[in-house]
Chains A and B, each alone.
Chain A
Amino acid sequence: MAARTTRSTVVGRVSARRAAQEHRPVTISRWRLNVILLLATLMIARVAVHLGSLQTGQVKVEGHTLAEMARAEIHQQLAIPSPRGVIRDSKGNVLALDVDLQSLYVAPGQIDQKTAPRLALTLSALLGVPSPDILAAMQNTALYQVRIKRWLEPEIADRVAALNEPGLLLQYEPRRVYPQGTLAAHAIGAVNFENVGISGVEGYYDTLLRGSTGTITAEVDSQRNPIWIAPQEIQPASPGVDLQLTLDSMVQHIIETELKKAVDEHNADGGTVIVMDPRTGAIRGMASYPTYDPNRYFEYPAEMYNLNPAVSTQYEPGSTFKIFTVAVGLQARAFTADTVVDDPGSVYRYGWSLSNWNGGGNGPVNPEKILYYSSNVGALQLAELIGPEKFYAALEAFGFGKPTGIEIAGEAAGTVRTPNAPDWSPLILNTNGYGQGIAVTPLQLVRMVAAIGNDGKLMRPYIVERRCRGNDCIITQPRQVGQPIEPGVAWTVRRMLVKSANHYAPVVWASTTGNYGDTWLVPGYEVCAKTGTSSIPDGRGGYVQDATIGSVAGLAPAEHARYAILVKVDRPRDDYWAVRTAIPLYQSIATQLLRYERVAPDMGLVDPGQTVGGQ
């Protein structure tokens, strides 16, 4: 009925006109409705055709179907980070650990570019990053995410989060933190921004500390979280190995404090102290000054954090090396403790004049007196008595000229010129006899002294006591690498070194006791010590004129030694012979260590005017 009505519009119009002349009827033309229906049908057909091409894989973008592209985006392999191992000292105090801090990223696509300059200024004030840099990052819409600043302080991160800007993203990232700051910085080393250990133990055990990252192969949501409706494949991460060092933070603190005081007082370039357990080879303390803070290593010059002077720098050991000459000669039976050589103050060898430190002679001297007076002329004659073959064989037996194998990155080998070397001459044997013309690392030297204290047994030095993966620990076993000298020879040398130590005691004690003769260096104890004032090669075959390295190597106490100690002060400005710098440093360290170790003092070993455990 209605259809007929609309179709017969003309009829309707005519009849309406007839009915009421002034009222024109509204007429609905069927063709207009059909036009709309046709339009809708055509559009629906267009949509259907388009859907057909979209959903049958006919639409391709750069050769890939939409389904493939979606799959590539959703199927991802995610890394499961493995936390870097914790480093502790021998008492369990944490020296290095990972802390998760928030880093600020910006998603330029989500930043309202109109308000970006204002936001950049706000962030600049919070972060201390120049606002043009932040603005440039925000405007870099070609990138999905740009990092603004790494590792915000928690309070700053909270304030950034409070800005509530959709384009700012805070993500937790692990940061290596050294809670003790500069303590043992050279031994521990540093980790760079890529989380790679670059020096020290961090560098040496980088792979172990890092562990291996795991993976999740899964379908993910846009936040890169695996979605639960699809199965996932997990390759678990293997966490980094925790290290416990042999370092004792108390020992470390003592040597660092004393070293800093000595270097500052004498305006020296720097210095190094190593404390080793002679019985095992474990490093109890290892300090160099000036030092750095591994938390902010990048603010220091590269050589500061890249090198550990205790193992990486070589120097000519000077008179401390006479311990070696005497010990080796006694062991080789080249001479006895009673052998006497003449020391006229200076001698000529191969056209060169070789003299004592002050040019003065000491007359007929035995090995004990050679160490006592630190006679160069005497020592070079002892070296001649030993002969090159045995001398250099002993150098090798003591491990000079090759790395000790300590677990610290960047260890140097030292430089030993043997008769096989093209530039060797017999003169070198003479100078080697009193510690010049040969370069050693401080660690090599302290190990040699430790062997004297350990009845001739040479230990491999180590600084990592245990390596733990979870509760599964590998404890480092002390390892003897040789026995270059017999126990009896070692005892004889120790007796000589006690006399030598007492000879230097007035440097410390004369002002208190008024006695300029020999006295106990560390009252209440017998300690071994030998000083050395080494000339510094100038790199042109000669030696620097106005600077020396002052060092003292020794054992405390002399028998059943707990510590082998080397102190070394580079270029003290006010003390050319460097002895007045190094002896008090050695004495102070030895005193405090013996007290810390609770070694009972022998009250028979105290001279009038001296106090036990003090100065």
Chain B
Amino acid sequence: MTDTLQRKPDYPLLTTMGVLVPLGLVMVYSASFMSAYATHHDQLYYTWRQLVAALLGIGGMLAAQRIDYRIWRRFSVHLMAGTLFLLTLTLILPESMTEANGARSWIRIGSFSMQPSEIAKLTMVIYIADWLSRRGEKLTNVTYGLAPFALMLGVVCGLVMLGHDLGTTVVLVIIGGIVYFVAGANMLHILGASALAGGAFWALINVAAYRQERIAAWIDPFAHYQGAGYQPVHALYALGSGGLFGVGIGQARQKFFWLPEAHTDAIFAIIGEEFGLLGTLLVVTCFLVIAYRGMRIAGRAPDPFAALLATGITAWLVFQALINIAVVTTLIPFTGLTLPFLSYGGTSLAMSMVAVGILLNISRHIGGGIPGEFDESVAPDSRPDHASLTRRMAGWWRNRRPRLSGAGRRRSAQRTWGAIRRR
């Protein structure tokens, strides 16, 4: 299980983590001490929790970096099933254990709390990377490619959406769409699915009055100062007050209850107020580095699963950050999303760091691949055949004939794998 490869991980990516995670801890403290004191009479309430999550995350990242990424493939179905179970739990547990800010996306037991939708992002990336990498040419087929994929994505998104978490749903759809696109989807399918997703999105906006209000507040936040425009306006105030170099660390004024969610969704605005344009551009640059290094890792990944996994993880981190920053700067309408690595939120931080750990592990396999590794038929098939119901059904349908000479096929596959090993 432990990866014994001696290659180095992607240092630029690791360095970015070294910038973002400590910055996030400092900013969570700076942005939260007032509200922590007001609500919990302990100005370090959120900071301690974030620190614990960061330590878990560092441990998780370093561990994931040492674990061969192919392990995840073996457990993709188990992980997915566990995630679906947790997501369902958020919907059936009593509201006191699950609800916060109008979204049912939590599971709280005593002082421990977690957000299954954050876990869902990683497990969904693993699952669809595995699933799509096994589709091959069938990917372009509506019946075997698009329809099952859309169904899968729909189930996960539907469960999240039932908890009224539009932001996470949007991120899941974007991750799914990007991975699907990179896996080689038919462009017509992509366009059609985009149109469908756009329509669904439109319907979701129209079904809830508060979402329409957010659209109106996005167009002119100052006209809706008393209502949905209050948070965007104060985020803009924070960014504007920061100027080029900021008001200084700890000196932000908007965190004194002016800017709602200052330490979670809107932490980017506090960074902008305390460190100015310099700070915001540093953060944006960090995510640009993640995007570039992530896509580079994906492009050089040793096998399709690794490539899709790297693509999904990178798309998740980068596009969630972009959506968050665009919301804070009022480039897009408001939706509640955390800024990866920076916002308060233990599950989000830990899962993001584990994801980066996987990315780093893939980066350590770069250069070890051969052309043949892209062949599904020579991939290590250590997972039991019944693991994926869809795969099994599809395989059963497609490979009726080869099933008869299965033993021979397996033998040849093992031989090829052995050949790769030897190299």
Contacts and interface: CB of A to CB of B under 8 A. Distances in A.
A236 B151 CA distance: 68
A25 interface: yes
Interface in B387-414: 398-399, 402
A2 B369 contact: yes
Contacts of A164: none
B257 interface: yes
Contacts of A66: 236-237, 239-241
B212 to A, nearest CB: 13
B299 interface: yes
B373 interface: yes
A126 interface: no
Q: How large is the interface on A (under 10, 10 to 19, 20 to 34, 35 or more residues)?
A: 35 or more
B335 interface: no
Contact of A28 (B256, B298, B376): B298
A5 B370 CA distance: 7
Contacts of A19: 372, 375, 377-378, 416
Contact of A229 (B138, B250, B292): B250
A40 B272 contact: no
Contacts, number: 215
A142 B253 CA distance: 26
B186 interface: no
Interface stretch (A51-59, A284-292, A436-444): A51-59
Given A3-B299, A59-B236, A69-B237, A33 B182 contact: yes
A3 B297 CA distance: 9
A25 B376 contact: yes
Q: Which of A3, A52, A143 has the most CB of B within 10 A?
A: A3
A1 to B, nearest CB: 5
Contacts of B322: 40, 43-44, 47
Interface stretch (B48-56, B66-74, B105-113, B279-287): B279-287
Contact of A51 (B230, B234, B239): B239
Contacts of B250: 229
A221 B260 CA distance: 12
A55 B300 CA distance: 38
B226 A15 contact: no
A8 interface: yes
B291 A222 contact: no
Q: Which of A15, A33, A48, A108 has the most CB of B within 10 A?
A: A33
B257 A27 contact: no
Chain B at the A interface: mostly helix, strand, loop or mixed? helix
A90 interface: no
Contacts of A142: 226
Contacts of B128: none
A11 B234 CA distance: 56
A142 B223 CA distance: 10
Nearest to A69: B237
A222 B399 contact: no
A515 interface: no
A20 interface: yes
Nearest to B305: A26
Contacts of B155: none
Q: How large is the interface on B (under 10, 10 to 19, 20 to 34, 35 or more residues)?
A: 35 or more
B57 interface: no
Contacts of B139: 26
Interface string B286-315: 011001100100111110100110010001
Contact of B258 (A47, A48, A109, A222): A222
A1 B183 CA distance: 20
A43 B288 CA distance: 10
Contacts of A71: 241
A141 interface: yes
B257 A221 contact: yes
Interface in A1-48: 1-3, 5-6, 8, 11-12, 15-16, 19-20, 22-30, 32-37, 40-41, 43-44, 46-48
A57 B239 CA distance: 10
A514 to B, nearest CB: 84
Contact of B277 (A5, A16, A51, A65): A51
Contacts of A8: 371
A48 B136 contact: no
Contacts of A25: 136, 304, 374-377
B94 interface: no
Nearest to A68: B240
Contacts of B378: 19
Nearest to A220: B256
A32 B177 CA distance: 12
A48 B236 contact: no
Nearest to A227: B256
A59 B258 contact: no
A69 to B, nearest CB: 6
B326 interface: yes
Given A3-B299, A55-B280, A69 B240 contact: yes
A51 B182 contact: no
B318 interface: yes
A36 B239 contact: no
A28 B256 CA distance: 49
Contacts of A172: none
B135 interface: yes
B281 A26 contact: no
A122 B326 CA distance: 42
B377 A23 contact: yes
A226 B382 CA distance: 65
A67 B371 contact: no
Nearest to B273: A70
A349 interface: no
A56 B301 contact: no
Given A25-B374, A66-B237, A32 B253 contact: no
B238 interface: yes
B181 to A, nearest CB: 6
B345 interface: no
Nearest to A109: B226
Given A25-B375, A29-B184, A1 B368 contact: yes
B224 to A, nearest CB: 9
Given A26-B135, A37-B292, 19 more contacts: A3-B299, A12-B374, A16-B372, A16-B377, A23-B136, A23-B375, A23-B377, A24-B136, A25-B376, A26-B136, A26-B183, A36-B311, A47-B331, A54-B272, A55-B244, A57-B243, A74-B253, A144-B226, A227-B256
26 contacts: A1-B368, A2-B302, A8-B371, A12-B375, A25-B374, A28-B183, A29-B182, A33-B295, A33-B298, A35-B181, A36-B181, A47-B325, A48-B281, A51-B239, A51-B277, A55-B276, A55-B280, A66-B241, A67-B243, A70-B234, A70-B240, A74-B253, A141-B227, A219-B253, A222-B257, A223-B257
